[in-house]
Every structure is written in structure tokens, then in C-alpha cells.
A = this chain, B = another copy of it.
Amino acid sequence: MRLSRSHPRYASLRIRARLAAQAHTGLVAPEGLIAHGRGETFDYLLGERTTPSARAAERRAAEWIRSARLPVLSVNGNVAALAANEVARVARASPGLSVEVNLFHRTPARARAVANALRAAGVRNVLGVRPSARIPGLPSDRARVDRRGILAADLCIIPLEDGDRTRALRVLGKKVVSIDLNPLSRTSQEADLPIVDELRRALSNIADELERPGPPERTGRFARFDRRRALADALGQIGRNLKRAAAARPQPSAPPGRALRRRARGTGGRSRRTP
């Protein structure tokens, strides 16, 4: 199906088509497609744009990456399929950062496919294809990590991660930055710095910050972040968007999705005044 650029949800539909196409290559697991759909709904409810609160979280995440002694960005099939270029940008902009393949539904073939997608996008050193360690407290398949990567890291950036693993990383004392559109997910609720934003927008914004000149510090100390407020902001935005959508009457001739977005954008300016 051809998508028109003028479609109000063009970006979201294009991402969807891309992921569906990648499913045939084995890069994305069926469960990954379902997970993407869950995220789509939250992105739709959030207005399909980066909220001011998410933008602030992304700025702070970039600061944390600079501050970390060993930051590691974890990549699964969905992340590689959707945002290999953005991962490469973040890696280029932050020479101390490692990129590690980390799969929930791990097969050797999918691990290689993820690594290949990352290398094709320009990531030089990819860890995790042959895991060399385990995270305690997780079923064996899902615990496998790289000794020089996630196991040694003081900061893990985990886009589209599972709640159990997020928790296991925190139990090991690591700082965790999540990227997850669901503010109610266990990953968002467990993370030290939850970014509630679409993956590509989030990584692009983080890369923008990292590409600005600034001394890489590697202090191992992380500036404060109010995670409860970040999550409350996201839920509040969804609640306001829903209230507006409920107030709008069903209009068969005008798709309601369009109305929701127009209204959500209309207030974006207002809420930006109080970030």
C-alpha cells in the first residue's frame, strides 16, 4: 500500500510499514511486532510528538551518557529494524559508549542479523553476538550479556526493554535510562531515567545533544532526575488528549485521529511554556 506524505499520521504509518517488511527478514520477532503495536497506541495517545517533558528527559540522558564511566546502549531486533541509523549517530557522538545486542527472543541468527544491521548503519564495534556472561536472577536465555559491555557498565540505555531485565540491571546497581512509550510499563516505572517518547525521535534528540561540543566528563556521577514527575507528565498528557477526544463528537466525515492530533498540537505551545 502506498502512503501519502500528506496523511496526518504519515510518520507513524511509514514506521509501521518498515517494521512489517523487516519481519520477513527475521530481524524482528513476531512478539516484537505486537510490542510495536502497543507502543503505537501510546504514541497516538501522546500526540505522536516529543512532549516538552520527554525533551527534558532526553537532554538529561545525554548528560548521563557523558558522565558515565562505561555507558552501554542495548539493542534488540525492533531497535535495529527501526533505528539502526540513530543508534550509529549516538555511538559516533559518544566515543566511550558501547553498543550491545541484547535479545529477548534470542536465536544466533537473529543476533547476527541485529549486529549486521548495526554495522551496515556504521556502528564499528558491536558487542553481545556471542554473550560471555549472565545477569543473575533471570531465566538463562534472557540473562546473556557481554562481560565487557552490559555486565561492566555503570549506565545502561535500554530502548524497548522488558520489565524483568530492567529490574535485574537496577538490582546490579546500574543506572538505567529507558526509552518506552508506555509510562505504565514496568520498564518505565523501574528506570532511573524513563524517556516516554518514540524510539527514533528520542535517539535523534539524544544524538543532537551529544553532537554539541561539551567536555566528556566520565565522572561516574549522575545529575538528579525526577522520574516520578516525568511519568506523571506523560500520563497527564494522555489524559488531556483523551478528554479532548471524548469531547469531540463522532464525525463520520472527518477521521477522529486527525482531530485528536490537531487538538493535541494546539495545546503543545501552551504546555511548552511550563516545561
Chain A interfacial positions (CB closer than 8 Å to B): 1, 16, 19-21, 23-24, 29-31, 33-42, 44, 139, 163, 167, 170, 182, 184-186, 189-190, 227-228, 231-232, 235-236, 238-239, 242-243, 245-246, 249-252, 255-257, 260
Contact = CB atoms under 8 A, between A and B. Distances in A.
A44 B190 CA distance: 19
A19 B34 contact: yes
Contacts of A42: 41
B41 A189 contact: no
A163 B251 CA distance: 13
Q: How many copies does the complex hold?
A: 2
A118 to B, nearest CB: 22
Contact of A246 (B24, B235, B243): B235
The dominant DSSP class at the A interface is: helix
A85 B39 CA distance: 29
Contact of A31 (B16, B184, B243, B256): B16
A189 B41 CA distance: 16
B189 A256 contact: yes
A29 to B, nearest CB: 8
B257 A186 contact: yes
A24 B30 contact: yes
Contacts of A34: 16, 19-20, 33-34, 36-37, 40
Nearest to A41: B41
A259 to B, nearest CB: 9
A252 B167 contact: yes
Contacts of A184: 44, 245, 256-257, 260
What 8 A-B pairs are tightest by C-beta distance, nearest first? A37-B37, A41-B41, A33-B33, A20-B30, A235-B246, A23-B30, A34-B37, A37-B38
Contact of A37 (B24, B39, B190): B39
